[in-house]
Amino acid sequence: MPAVMKKRFLTVLVLLWMGLIFWFSAQPSDDSEDMSLEAGKLAGQILIPEYEEWSQARQLAFAKKIDLPVRKLAHGLEYAVLGLFLTAMYRSYGLDGRRWILISFLSAAAYASTDEFHQLFVPGRAGKVTDVLIDSAGALIGVCVVWMIRRMYILRINA
């Protein structure tokens, strides 16, 4: 893919992912809770062989029990993906050395902060410092994954 096309593609990808994060954050608390409960039910179906045999009440109780970890994992994962995308985008613009690591992480952490601020204006939602920290940790994981892959690639070429 030509360099200009790659830059545009990755920039659009980052913006679309940020838009998806914004959309999730714009969901009122009831809608957001419904989505995470559905994710909890899906986790039950995948992880527990006898889940389908459980009563609906027991399935719902399970989903509610794991709701908080599901939400926090979702926070971390969506920002890990953002970290991956930001890293790829900044690299396509020619950031060299280790600057792309810092800039990718700081960009994602800044977006996490604005995302939590945005949630202050959504019915039933709250902006939380702990969520900014979880989001930032997720972004750091995403950036580190790219760094490790790149490092292995460089070591393989130089071997």
What pLDDT sits at residue 54? 93
- 17 or 100, greater pLDDT: 17
Sign of CA dihedral 128, 129, 130, 136: positive
pTM reported for the whole predicted model: 0.88
What pLDDT sits at residue 156? 86
Using the predicted structure, report yes or no on whether residue 35 has a pLDDT greater than 90. no
* Each residue's pLDDT tens digit, 136-154: 999 999 999 999 998 898 8
* Each residue's pLDDT tens digit, 119-142: 999 988 988 999 999 999 999 999
- Of residues 10, 17, 149, 31, the one with CA closest to residue 79: 17
- Tokens 């939590």 belong to 116
CB count in 10 Å sphere of residue 12: 11
Residues 6 or more apart from 119 whose CB is under 8 A from it?
25, 125, 126, 127
What pLDDT sits at residue 57? 92
Percentage of the chain beyond pLDDT 70 is 100
Helix (H) or strand (E) holding 133: helix 129-158
Using the predicted structure, report yes or no on whether residue 1 has a pLDDT greater than 80. no
Q: What residue spans define the domains of the chain?
A: 3-28+68-158
User: Which one-letter amino acid corresponds to residue 26?
Assistant: A
